[in-house]
Amino acid sequence: MPLVVVCYKWVLDEADIRINADLSIDLSKAKGKISDYDKNAIEAAVQAAAALNGKVAGLTFGTADAKPSLKDALSRGMDEAWYINEPQASQADGAGTARVLAAAIKKMADVSLIICAEGASDTYARQTGPRIGALLDLPVVTSVGKLEISGNTLIATRVLDDCLQKVKVELPAVVAVLPEITSAPIPGLKAVLAAGKKPVTELKAQDLGVDLTPKSRVTEIKGYMMDRKNIIFNEGETAERVNNLVAALRKEGVV
């Protein structure tokens, strides 16, 4: 039975990140979530598997913190999950991440399609799909806004800067999808309950024989603060606030 593999990432919710006055970052309040665009990718994988009469395997690479992702991911319609639970995941770069994912995919049988979101909501590097394709020497199609599958042929519509480009490829292939590919429905209670019974394969990077030494070295991480005036009119009658704003905009020369 053909297998559709969908890669997803457990990330910190950027809305919970606090930037301190010295521009250091406070992640202590940040909760995890499946990267927003990955939810659309998972749904796209479920639909592709239906078209292929196949199954869906979710694949994630993360630290022990990523464990809660499994239930959420499995409730979104996948049949099984592969979890590469690795302490070094937090330090891994794009090269290492792709090596781990590619090595895990090699262990799966009958893989006919690999789907990734275009980018993750933390790094938004947009490397993983193409890198996996290169490592497995599979054809790659990125920036995909629409997927059609007929038999073993995949037709994808790519959303490029200057045109919509429809391309054709025989499976197996790697596809990176845009969030507009499909909506990501919130799983129902029944799906959530069923998720706990689905099989999970848990491995370490070592089990896959992958060296995770990063090729790039992070030398600094700091918060970004826009340098803005922050003049907020929050007192007095509404008309007065509006007049104050108009006066300020006239002074700035923008109206």
Partner 1 sequence: MAGIYIFSDRADIAAEIVGFARAAGKEAFVMALGEEAAQALTNAGADKIYAIDGDSELIESYAKDIAEFLIKAGAELFAVGATPRGRDLAARVAGYLDCAMASDVVSVEYHDNQLTCVRMLYGGAVQEKQVLSGLSVVTIPAGKFEPAQGESTIEALKLKADTRVSIVETAPIVKEGVDLSKAEKVVCVGMALDKEEDLQIARDLAAVLGAELGCTRSIAEERHWLPVESYIGISGAVIKPRLYISMGVSGQIQHVYGIRDANLIVAIDINEKAPIFKAADYGIVGDLYEVVPLLTEALKK
Q: Based on the shown chain and the rule CB under 8 A, indicate whether residue 204 belongs to the binding site for partner 1.
A: no
Q: Does 186 bind partner 1 (CB under 8 A)?
A: no
Give the E-state strand segments of 9-139 in sequence order.
Answer: 10-12, 18-19, 25-26, 32-34, 55-62, 80-85, 111-117
Judge whether 47 and 26 are in contact, CB under 8 Å: no
Here the tokens at position 95 are 């090269």
Q: Please, are residues 91 and 62 in contact by the beta-carbon 8 Å criterion? A: no
Is residue 249 a contact residue for partner 1 (CB under 8 A)? yes
- With contacts defined by CB under 8 A, name the span among 66-74, 78-86, 195-203, 208-216 that binds partner 1: 208-216
Number of other CB atoms surrounding residue 47 within 10 Å: 18
Question: Is 169 or 205 the residue whose CB approaches partner 1 more closely?
Answer: 169
In angstroms, give the least distance from the CB of 40 to partner 1. 10
Q: How far is the CB of 169 from partner 1 (least distance, A)?
A: 5
Q: Which is nearer to partner 1, 75 or 182 (CB)?
A: 182
Q: How many residues bind partner 1 (CB under 8 A)?
A: 83
29, 106, 166, 204: residue in contact with partner 1 (rule CB under 8 A)? 166
Least distance between partner 1 and beta carbon 202 (Å): 25
User: 191 is written with which tokens?
Assistant: 């799906």
- Residues 45-84 as x/- pattern, contact with partner 1 by CB under 8 A: ----------------------------------------
Q: Interaction with partner 1 in 223-242: which residues (CB under 8 A)?
A: 223-224, 226, 228-234, 238-239, 241-242
For the CB of residue 68, give the shortest distance to partner 1 in the complex, in Å: 19
Q: Which of 159, 191, 192, 203 binds partner 1 (CB under 8 A)?
A: 159
Give the whole-angstrom CA distance, residue 22 versus residue 25.
9
Strand partners, 25: 19
The CB density around residue 93, as the number of other CB atoms within 10 Å, is: 18
Q: Which residues contact 248 (CB under 8 A, 6 or more apart)?
A: 231
Which of 131, 147, 177, 195 binds partner 1 (CB under 8 A)? It is: 131
Query: Least distance (Å) from partner 1 to the CB of residue 161?
Result: 5
* Binding segment toward partner 1, per CB under 8 A, in 55-63, 75-83, 106-114, 155-163: 155-163
CB 77 within 8 A of CB 191: yes
Measured N-to-C along each axis, helices 94-106 and 128-135 cross at an angle, to the nearest 10 degrees, of 50
Structure tokens at 42: 């998972």
Q: Does 165 bind partner 1 (CB under 8 A)?
A: yes
Q: Which of positions 20-39 make contact with partner 1 (CB under 8 A)?
A: 25, 37
Residue 95 φ then ψ, to 5°: -65, -50
